[in-house]
Every structure is written in structure tokens, then in C-alpha cells.
Structure 1
Amino acid sequence: MNMKKTVISQVVAAATLAASGQVLAQTISDDAVRIGVLTDLSGIYSAVEGPGAVVAAEMAVADFGGKVLGKDIIITTADTQSKADLASSKAREMFERDKVDMIVGNVSTASALAAMEVADQMKKVALVTGAASLPITNERCNPYTVHWVYDTYALAHGTGKAVVETGKKTWFFVTADYAFGHTLQRDTSEVVLASGGEVLGSVAHPIRTTDFASYLFQAQSSGSQVIALANAGGDTIGSIKQAAELGIMGSDQTVVPLLMFISDIQALGLRETQGMNFTVGWYWDFNESNRKFAERFMEKFKGTAPTSVQAGVYSATLNYLKAIESTKTDDSDAVMKYLKSTPIDDGLFKGVIRPDGKFEHDMYLLQVKAPKESKSRNDIASVVRVIPADQATLPLSQSQCKLVKG
């Protein structure tokens, strides 16, 4: 009798284990974890994120072991060219046709907002690493988006505040005429005014323009101490090049780019950019952990050090995989709950993801080196200030995100 009970128990236990194994297998949709790198591979911001983002994502997958919960990790890529319509259609293609579980990247605000709207509709995770506008986790927030690297609030309270503190109180903005540019101008203007400064005016230019002369002359004629560039990527490079050609760089006015990346400085050269301050969420030469990652990245990416957003792609991808491993599922709600409840410390970034989806971590104020100070092509800046996470992030008490107020 006891023997019969033992046999029955063993059969029930085996059946239970088999059933639980089937349940576990079903927690990974489509029998694989699929990650979509949605970025600007050929447009104005391709050097900022672009192909380097794909390398960073591949490194994260390799470092994780190539599988999660025994399932393959597959990377899919698509080129948005930093255009909202392309970002929206490519995001939908990735989710519907390619069965992607998460998208990472989105280097322009327009493309990020378009893609994250699709992700929200389809209840899929969108980890924004390249775009900057505060609305991503403020009035345009959604339950499936994380803003990973930086935003316009951090740039304003980093670069903007640092320049005002040097005594340069009067500002004129040359602004990219789309959401990012206007948000950056707004956030920086608030810092300037709160610090006792004055905004004398602004002029908006089309994105991807090639002639900045009229805009720069208008800024010059304002007599402001600061000509603030509220643009990015190729537009920032073009603005600075033409400011130098027009003799504005050597005048009493200071040209201040409010968003710069290591790739921008390499394109311009240290002679044109030396002494400029800029704010980043990560810098490759800040500590040993960053340098080790950068060395591995450079081996795979033609000797070019990673930008902050490329490092962000690595961090976002790695932590997404950790969330799947910990929750035993790629269900978006479960993954997001884990990400928002678990502190992040992956060797590159350290902080917490808030209810609004903002990844709150320290930021860094950098200063571009003089040519004689640089030891290599990638040795372009020094960290002059660490901006604590709580100072670099919009207080939740001021948030307009429905996930906070609700």
C-alpha cells in the first residue's frame, strides 16, 4: 500500500514538474527574446547613436551570455533617420512583423515620441537612450517607457547653470525648430532667469539646415553675452563651424552648445571647441569601469570611444535582460514593474527608475581640453563637476506625468 502511494506521488510530482516546465517555456513569447535597436543609422544623428548603438546592444547580449531563461536573444535593427514618420512605422514593423519585445535607442525627440506611442499602444517596452526632451517622462509619459541617459532638464541645470555662474547673464538662443530645441530653450531659460540672468531673444532654424549665417548674425546683433545653441548633432556642428568662419567664436560673445557629444567634438576639432562646457550622463574616461567598457567598445568600433547614449544602449539592454531573468518572463508589465522597483548599478550607470519612467542618476559637467592637453583622439574632455542625481532631475513634485499624479 505504501509502495503504491509512493509510486502515485512520484507520478504526480513528475507531472507537476512537466507542467511547470511548460508554463516556464510559455513565459517567453515566440520562443525567443527579441530586441529592436531603433536608431538613426544614416541621418543627422547617426554619429551620436547610430551604428555604435547596435555594437553596444550586441555587447550587452554577449556579456549576458547570449541567452536568457534558455532562450535565444535576437537583435533587430531599423533606421529612423531621425524622422517621426519612419520611427512610427519602423516601430510598428518591429513589434508586429519581427515580434520584437523591446525597442532601444530613438536618438531624436520626434522619433522617440512617435515610437513610444506605438509601444504604449502595443504594451511593449521602449527604452529611450538618445532623445532629450523632458516631455518623454513628463506630460507625454507612458507605462512602458524609460528615459535612460539624460534630458533637457539635466542639460539646463548642468551647462546652463555653469555658464551663468561664470557671470555671463544675457542670453540669446539659436534653436532647432522642433520639440527638442524648444524644450531645451525653455528649460535653460528658466535656469538663466532663476539665476538672475536675462533672455534677450531667440531665433528658430529648420532641422538639417546647412546655412546658419542669418541666425548667427541675428544672435550676434542682440549683443548678448551668450549665444546658446539649442540644437544637436549635425546642426550643432554646422552652427559652430559657421560661427568660427564668421568670426563670432573669437568675439566678446560666447557660443555655448547646450548639447554636445564626443562625436561632435571629434568632428569639429579641439581648436574650435576648447574650453566649452557640456553636460553628459556618462563619460568614457571618468573611472576605470567606464574605461574598460570603452576599450572593448573601441576594439569593435574602429577605435572610437562610445558616446554617452551608446553606453546607455548597453546599460538599457543589459538591465532589460536582467529583468527578464529575474521575473522569468518577457511580459512588459512584469518587466517594467521590476525595473521601477530595483536599483540599477551595472558598472556604467547607477540610480533608480522613478514612477514616471525617468532613470535618475548622476550627470557630469565636462570641459573640452585644449589641443596640447589631449593625449589621444578620444581624450577630449575633463570632468569638472559631478551633478548629483537629485539636482539633475525634475522633482517628482513638479511632474505632470499621469503615472505620478494618478
Structure 2
Amino acid sequence: MKKLICSAISILIASVAPAHAQEKVSDGIVKIGVITDLSGLYSDNVGPGSVLATRLAVEDFGGKVLGKPIEIVTIDHHNKADIASAKVREWIDRDKVDVITELGSSAVALAAMKIGAEKNRITMVTGAGATRISGEDCTPTNFHWVYDTFALANVASKEMVARGGSSWFYIAADYAFGHALENDGTRVVKDAGGTVLGSARYPMPGSDFSSYLLRAQASGAKVVALANAGMDTQNAIKQAKEFGLTQKQQVVAMLMSIADVHSLGLEQAQGMYFTETFYWDLNDDSRKFARRFFEKHKRMPTALQAGQYSAVLSYLKAVQAAGTDDTNAVVSKIRSMPINDAFAKNGKVRADGKMIHDNYLVQVKAPKESKTPWDYYRIVKTVPGEQAYSSLADSKCPLVKK
């Protein structure tokens, strides 16, 4: 009789186990959605490279999580929040996408993370930097992974003021990201003892910066700060040199990447200072990841692409550790675990969803200083995350308890 009871229990457990395992991963598959700029002015910084970084993270994790397959879906948002919003809703409601990532362009990110919060779905912003993302517009299910506009301004602007750049003029893209860069930069410059002599905002994307550069030149500011990104930054730097502006004024890119430097060439970009969150030649892990990335993409990864790799890998580790892809359980795990990978060492996620990690002040090398292909940066200073980002006490995120 005892043997019969044990046998019955074993059969019951065997029949229940598959159903229980299925419940751990909703729909029996983990879906990662990558919404990015595949064809526009930010495509070199994110785009196909961020999709590749996602694939590399899935490969490194083993291709499955909790024994279930991982699927990647992607779309080009064309830098339009309405396109992104429609796709996020479709992905969540119809396609059962579990996590929505990249979200380059701050307007796209802010729209998508709001929908994610409404539907209790995780969003991970790796391509946008407006401080609002982890500030006043933060959500319980969103993570801000790579950078923000305060850190970009804080690391570079303080150093430039200390080096004699006491007066500034801003040329800013007229949308959320450009406004945030200009506002955060102004705050940092003034706090460091500098002055802001003026600013000009242009409709994005920009191609002819002549009138804005003339205003910057006429201001007499020692530093002309470009509060933009991607091809806009490249075009503004080229035209600044053509105008002779760089002979008397220092041009500072508030957001620049290795892709921008590569497109401009060292002859054009040499001497530029800016804040970075990743460089392929930082350490053994960054070099290993970068070489694999280069083999497939024929370009070294940008910080945003390396950050995408880190975010996706961290998400999968959290699902594994939680034993489920349930949103609340995974969010809790991401907030509690240290981030150690090719992008960040000893990173941590704060209550506002911001991932805190080291930032770097870099200077672009002169052509004669570059010894190998893609040997573009000189690391001037490493700034710990706690010093680079605004403090949690100053956060406007409603999730932060004061």
C-alpha cells in the first residue's frame, strides 16, 4: 500500500511539473524587443549595432533562460514617439514581448516607458539620456542604463571650466534631449564658477549650422557647447572648423561617441574633450567584447551599444535568478544585483532606476598619437559613478523616499 501511495505521488508530481515549469516563463518564451534608430541620424550610435549587441548578450547567456528559448524582435522608430508608442502597445498586447529595450531618442523613451508602466512591463533605456527618464518621469518598471545629460555635463563641463573655459555659449537641438543637455550644462557651468553668455536652439535634424555658429562666434564665449548628438554633432563640428571658430574658441561636444570620431576622422576630431561611459580599450573584458563585436560589425562598439549588451545580459541574469520572467520579480532582482560585465564594473541600480557606474573624461588623440585602428581616445580622468551622477537626495523621481 505504501509503495502504491508513493508511486501515485510520483506520477502526480511528474504530471504537474511540466505545467509548473511552463508558468515560470510566460508563453514558454522570453521575448526581447529592441526599438531603435535603424536608418536615421543616430543609427551609427545605436541601430544595427545595438541589435547585434542584443544578439551577443543572448549568445553569451547560452540562448535559453530557465530552459526556454529567447527571441529578439526589432523595429525602426524613425525617431518618432508615436511610431514607438504604437509598436510598444502592439508588442505587449499581441506579441507578449517581455522587455522593451534600447529606446534611443528621449521622446521615444519617455513615451515607451510610460506604456510599459501602465501594462506592468519592463523597459530598459540604453540609448536616451534626458534626466527626466530617471527623474520626474521615472516609473517602477523602467531602468536608465548608460548615461544621462547631467553626468555628460558634470564630468566634462567642470573640467573645462577648471582649464579656463569660464564663458559658454550653447547650440542645442530643440527637443527633450537637447533641452536637458543645455539645462544641465548651464547648471554645472554656473556651479563651477563659469558664466553662460547665450544659447541658440535649432530644429532637429540640423544640416546648416552657419547662423548658430555665427551667434556663438559673436558672443565671444571661450567655449561653444554642442548640445546634440549623432550626425548633427558631426555636421556642427565640421562647420565650426570651416568657419574658423575653433581657432579662438574651444568646441565641446556634450555627447559624442567613437562612431562620431570615426566618421569625422582624427584630423577633424583631434583635441575634442567629452564624457564617455565606455571605451573598447579599457580592460580585458571590454577588449574581448569589442573584438567579437568588430568581427560581425566591422566597427568598434559605441558606449550605447556596449550598454545595450549589458542591459540585456543583466535582464537575462535576473530572470534566471528570479526563476521566472514575472515583471515584479525580475525588477526586484535587477535592483538588488551588482552589474559586472564588459560595460560596467561594480555597477548598481538605484531606487530611481538609474544604473550607477564609472564615467570617463576623454580627449580625442591627434593622428600621430593613434597607433592602431580605432585607437582614438586618451582617458583623461575616471570619475566614479557616485560623483558623475546627481545624488539620490537630489532626485525628482517620485519613487525615491526623501
Whether these two folds match at TM > 0.5 is yes
Q: Please state how far the C-alpha of 1:98 moved relative to its aligned partner.
A: 2.4
Amino acid at match of 1:373: E
In the alignment, does 2:361 pair up with 1:365? yes
Task: State whether residues 266 and 377 of structure 1, in contact with CA within 8 Å, keep that contact through their aligned partners in structure 2.
Answer: no
Q: Render the CA deviation track for 1:260-313: whole Å, top value 9, x for unaligned.
A: 000111111111111111111111111111011100000010x20000010011
The answer for the alignment partner of 1:384 in structure 2 is: 380
Q: Render the CA deviation track for 1:1-20: whole Å, top value 9, x for unaligned.
A: xxx12330332244135324
How high is the TM-score relative to the length of structure 1? 0.96
Q: 2:316 is matched with which residue: 314, 317, 321?
A: 321
The answer for the alignment partner of 2:327 in structure 1 is: 332
Amino acid at match of 1:281: T
Q: Please state how far the C-alpha of 1:340 moved relative to its aligned partner.
A: 0.4
Secondary structure (helix, strand or coil) at the match of 2:286 reads helix
Secondary structure (helix, strand or coil) at the match of 2:237 reads helix
How high is the TM-score relative to the length of structure 2? 0.97
Q: Please state how far the C-alpha of 1:106 moved relative to its aligned partner.
A: 1.1
Secondary structure (helix, strand or coil) at the match of 2:375 reads coil
The answer for the alignment partner of 1:192 in structure 2 is: 189
In the alignment, does 2:116 pair up with 1:119? yes
The answer for the alignment partner of 1:310 in structure 2 is: 305
The answer for the alignment partner of 1:346 in structure 2 is: 341
Q: Render the CA deviation track for 1:8-48: whole Å, top value 9, x for unaligned.
A: 03322441353244222112111100001110001110000
RMSD, aligned CA = 1.2
Amino acid at match of 1:18: S
Amino acid at match of 1:357: G
The answer for the alignment partner of 1:282 in structure 2 is: 278
Amino acid at match of 2:334: L
In the alignment, does 2:132 pair up with 1:105? no
In the alignment, does 2:297 pair up with 1:270? no
The answer for the alignment partner of 1:243 in structure 2 is: 240
Q: 2:228 is matched with which residue: 227, 231, 234?
A: 231
In the alignment, does 2:38 pair up with 1:38? no
Q: Please state how far the C-alpha of 1:258 moved relative to its aligned partner.
A: 0.6
Residue-pair matches, total: 401
Q: Is there any run of 5+ residues in structure 2 with no aligned partner, and where?
A: none
Secondary structure (helix, strand or coil) at the match of 2:399 reads helix
* Residues in 2 aligned to 1:269 and 1:242: alpha-carbon distance in whole angstroms: 14
Amino acid at match of 1:380: Y
Q: Is there any run of 5+ residues in structure 1 with no aligned partner, and where?
A: none
Task: State whether residues 24 and 328 of structure 1, in contact with CA within 8 Å, keep that contact through their aligned partners in structure 2.
Answer: no
Q: After the TM superposition, which parts of structure 1 deviate over 4 Å for at least 4 consecutive aligned residues? A: none
In the alignment, does 2:176 pair up with 1:166? no
The answer for the alignment partner of 1:394 in structure 2 is: 390
* Residues in 1 aligned to 2:296 and 2:170: alpha-carbon distance in whole angstroms: 38
Task: State whether residues 44 and 81 of structure 1, in contact with CA within 8 Å, keep that contact through their aligned partners in structure 2.
Answer: no
The answer for the alignment partner of 2:352 in structure 1 is: 356
Q: Identity over the aligned pairs, expressed in percent?
A: 50
* Residues in 2 aligned to 1:184 and 1:268: alpha-carbon distance in whole angstroms: 22
In the alignment, does 2:329 pair up with 1:297? no
